[in-house]
Structure 1
């Protein structure tokens, strides 16, 4: 188990220090708020990724349409209408 480059022994030391600093009553509350923060960060990250993909697809479609229009424009001779 390796989270953010921190192994199990380091996590245990951090937990013991947090327990000593905050006390047993405050520690679950801090854990819940940390969990909520991480969850909201993940949701924001997913939203950003989804929006980024949507914009990239829209831009790709726009470029394809523009290329198709230019291709059609170059196929028609200039004196064909007249």
Structure 2
């Protein structure tokens, strides 16, 4: 949680307890909770206003973000092909190799069993 360990959190809580006293801590926590809820509601309202404005302007936010996601996926695929060229061998080459392996196993299978 924010890079704070258990011991550090305990120390902070101890200092807060010493500064404000045990009777004020619930009020402080309640006020912080209300503030966080108001902040969350404000961000949700801003998001909805942006979506309404884009829909009124004729823009579809889902199609815009979908296009970006597709481009990111294409870029990742291209990078993985560059980084791992052996893993991305064309299926036209890979399938005949697999077929030859199966043929060798079929031919050598009875020989192995006799030994």
Question: Which of the five TM-score ranges fits, normalised by the shorter chain?
Answer: 0.5 to 0.7
Unaligned runs of 5+ in 2: 60-115
| Superposition misfits of 4+ residues, deviation over 6 angstroms | none
| Separation in 1, partners of 2:39, 2:32 | 11
Unaligned runs of 5+ in 1: 63-82
| Separation in 2, partners of 1:22, 1:9 | 20
Structure of greater relative contact order (alpha carbons < 8 Å, 6+ residues apart): 1
Look up the match of 2:8.
Answer: 10
How large is the RMSD of aligned CA atoms in angstroms? 1.7
Asked which structure has the greater CA Rg, the reply is 2
TM-score by length of 2: 0.46
Paired positions, count: 59
TM-score by length of 1: 0.62
